[in-house]
Each structure stands twice: as structure tokens, then as C-alpha cells.
Amino acid sequence: MIAQGPPLPTRQVMSQWWRDISFLHWRVDPDVVAPLLPRGVDPDVHDGSSWVGLIPFRMVDGGLGRGGPVPRMGTFFETNVRLYSVDPAGRHGVVFRSLEADRLPVVAAARLTFGVPYQWARMTVDPLELGPEPEGRTISYRSRRRGRSGAGGRIDVEVGAPLDDPGPLELFLTARFGLHTSVAGRTLWVPNTHGPWPLRTARATVVEDTLMTAAGLPELTGSPPESVLFSSGVRTVFGLPERL
């Protein structure tokens, strides 16, 4: 199984590190998520099911083009709700239903440029860094969307042992090298690439969430996640979008 990302097919437009990231996933019927995807994109499935991810992490040293990190704005906290997609060209990506971030300029720029549904939120991650030996430690992510809805919650994850040989499901959920989004009614493919995730087993000890309900998936909030993984992170680069 390949977990190393392919070369970017278009010019690099930005780079960033995704650090101390937890992957919480729930199985879902593909027919449930199909209406939530951009036009021309289908649910991607594994063993007959599609999946919904609730994924908190630290964005670190984000930069534009091939330049260095953007001062102050390049590092922030994020939590996203994402679905899994495939297009007629066979490209397997993600579709973001929501992305919480605690930097307002980042929220505004991402919504305008890529059409992704960023939301401005108050967020914390504790501890701020787990360090090189995280096994047995717990990381706590908290988020509360600004404005009337107040969607958010708390996620506590206990980090486990290294997962040296990820299986097909783990690769399906994490080895994703692009996103599908819609801008002005047009579906776009935004490519990205990164090295293999250094994955670990993990256990969610607290999941208090209303983000999935706000994203149109209320039936999942009452059940525990069926897959939980953790990673110290990877550096990711994004290319110019392409039209489907």
C-alpha cells in the first residue's frame, strides 16, 4: 500500500505542518453523504461504507508559495469535519463540511480563495506539544465557534503505540492527497502531497461534539468513533486548483 504522496501536478501555492493530529472516524452510509458533496463528486467507500472524520490538530508554520512561514498567521489551531470523495478521474480526496480556526484572517482568506467552509472559533490544545515520546499521554482539544451557533466541544485522546504497518482502512482514512471543493458553482480539485503519516493507535476518552450536527450529520454524535488514530504530523504542500 502506498502512503507517500505523489508529486504536485500544479505549481505550489502554500505549505504547512499538521502537528499533534487526532483522527476520529465514524462509518456512514454513502447515500447519507452523497447530497453533501460538490457536483460531479461521489462518496469514496471502503468495504461498502463511507466515513466521516472529526479531526483536531495544530497548524504550524503555514506559508505562501515557496516562501517561509507567514508571521503570526501561519500557526493556529484547527478542527475539521470531513467526508471522503472520488471524482471521474479517479482522484481520491476529502470534502470539508466545516473547518474551525482561531485566526480570523485565515478564515476569511481560505473561504474566498478555495471555497472551504472555515469558521472562526475559540480553540485550545493542551498540552501544546506532546514531544517525541507521546505514548500513554492524553491530549485535549477544545473549540467553540464564535457567533450564535456556538458549535464545538471537547475531544480528549490518549495516545498509544506506533502503528508500524497501517492496514487498508488506516490508509484510506489518512493517505489523502487533495480536496474537492466548490467555488462559484464550479467543482475544483486542490492537490496536495506529503510524506507517510507516522501513525499511532489511540483511544478517545472524551468526545463532546456538536460540530458534526452543525455539518449536517446529527445521527453520528451519540455513538463512539469506530476508528481513532494519532500522529505527530507531516509537512504538506498544496498546488493550484484544477477544474473537474
pLDDT by 10s per residue, the chain, length 244? 457 899 999 999 999 999 999 999 999 999 999 999 999 999 999 999 999 999 999 999 998 888 888 877 789 999 999 999 999 999 999 999 999 999 998 898 888 877 889 999 999 999 998 988 999 999 999 999 998 889 999 999 999 999 999 999 999 999 999 999 999 889 999 999 999 999 999 999 999 999 999 999 998 888 999 999 999 999 999 999 999 9
Q: DSSP secondary structure string, 5-64?
A: PPPPSS-EEEEEEEEEEEEEEEEE-HHHHGGGSPTT-EE--BTTBEEEEEEEEEEEEEEE
The rounded distance, in Å, linking the Cα atoms of 79 and 123 is: 9
Q: Which of 214, 212, 241 is nearest to 224 (CA)?
A: 212
Domains within the chain, CATH numbers bracketed: 12-243 (2.40.400.10)
- What's residue 168's pLDDT? 96
Name the DSSP class of 171: H
Q: Which residue has the cell 509537512?
A: 235
